[in-house]
């Protein structure tokens, strides 16, 4: 007997449509279709205090794509471990890097059931790309996962992506830095880390950053910390940062000159790319 619920309205097993999810709220900001009313409500509350907050998600995603293109093309990295990969969107990491090198290996890690469902469907026909469901805040769980061990050679350089993720860590203030240290310790010399994070610019935009933080953390999504330059530097300790170091994602190697001053959304997301010596 065929189901009367259209495919687009079916909710995967393990998903509560009454609780916002980080992946789905981000998808809503990016203009995607894989989100529910509860996710759009979180987005809309943020847009009330910062109408340009969509730029935060868009610039984050563009930064990730530029960094991956650079690592696959100029550096020649062939193994990518993408932590908190998110829902499939217009350009996914494997599409960016396998256009340059079809043999590049990509492993996506996420713990959101909707991401898992879409990720596995998208990758059915791709032997070099894999998805694992794991907790990215537990480096041992990710690094010792069978699929990761099978497909990534840790004696060779890898690209490690922690993009738009650590601001959702809830716990010890030193937690994110410790997590990064544990991951970086496991990588071979010459490996690269791509990281981005909500940013408190410590200027007249700080107040809006703090309002966004307040909404995210008290929403049904429950997380979203804006950190300062000094706090972000702790996350990349021991790495040689590519110029310009930690920078607003919009200004990190833009594809062309920026027209006009930064919006508040562009101001409040920063990224960096670092090399393990």
Interface positions with ligand SAM (CB under 6 A): 22-23, 26, 60-61, 64, 84-86, 110-112, 115, 135-137, 163-165, 168
Beta strand residue intervals within the chain, DSSP E: 79-83, 105-110, 129-133, 159-163, 192-198, 240-241, 247-248, 269-275
Closest distance between ligand SAM and the C-beta of residue 194, in Å?
A: 9
- Taking the least distance from each CB to ligand SAM, the nearer of 110 and 267 is 110
State the first-to-last Cα distance of the chain, in angstroms, to the nearest integer: 60
- Please say whether the beta carbons of 98 and 75 come within 8 A: no
- Taking the least distance from each CB to ligand SAM, the nearer of 1 and 223 is 223
If we measure between CA atoms, which residue out of 162, 141, 155, 157 comes closest to residue 104? Answer: 157
Closest distance between ligand SAM and the C-beta of residue 101, in Å?
A: 21
The sign of the dihedral angle between the CA atoms of 149, 154, 158, 163 is positive
- Taking the least distance from each CB to ligand SAM, the nearer of 4 and 97 is 97
Closest distance between ligand SAM and the C-beta of residue 66, in Å?
A: 12
- Taking the least distance from each CB to ligand SAM, the nearer of 6 and 131 is 131
Closest distance between ligand SAM and the C-beta of residue 30, in Å?
A: 8
- Taking the least distance from each CB to ligand SAM, the nearer of 156 and 223 is 223
Residues 125-140: b if buried by 16+ CB within 10 A, e if exposed: eeebbbbbebebbebe
Closest distance between ligand SAM and the C-beta of residue 219, in Å?
A: 14
């Amino acid at each position: 007997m065929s189901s009367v619920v259209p495919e687009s309205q079916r909710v995967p097993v393990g998903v509560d449509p009454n609780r916002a999810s980080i992946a789905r709220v981000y998808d809503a900001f990016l203009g995607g279709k894989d989100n529910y009313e509860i996710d759009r409500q979180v987005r809309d509350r943020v847009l009330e205090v910062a109408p340009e907050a969509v730029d935060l998600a868009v610039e984050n995603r563009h930064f990730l794509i530029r960094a991956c293109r650079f690592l696959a093309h100029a550096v020649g990295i062939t193994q990518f471990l993408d932590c908190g990969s998110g829902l499939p969107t217009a350009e996914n990491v494997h599409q960016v890097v396998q256009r340059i090198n079809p043999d590049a290996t990509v492993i996506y890690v996420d713990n959101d059931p909707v991401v898992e469902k879409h990720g596995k469907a998208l990758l059915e026909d791709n032997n070099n790309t894999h998805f694992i469901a794991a907790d990215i805040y537990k480096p041992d769980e990710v690094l010792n996962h069978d699929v990761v061990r099978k497909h990534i050679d840790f004696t060779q350089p890898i690209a490690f992506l922690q993009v738009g993720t650590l601001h959702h860590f809830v716990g010890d203030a030193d937690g994110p830095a410790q997590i990064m240290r544990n991951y970086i310790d496991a990588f071979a010399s010459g490996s690269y880390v791509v990281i981005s994070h909500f940013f408190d610019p410590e200027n007249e935009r700080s107040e809006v950053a703090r309002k966004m933080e307040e909404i995210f953390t008290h929403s049904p999504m429950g997380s979203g910390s804006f950190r300062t330059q000094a706090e972000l530097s702790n996350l990349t300790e021991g790495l040689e940062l590519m110029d310009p170091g930690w920078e607003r994602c919009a200004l990190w190697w833009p594809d062309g000159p920026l027209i006009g001053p930064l919006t508040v959304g562009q101001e409040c997301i920063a990224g960096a790319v670092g090399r393990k010596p």
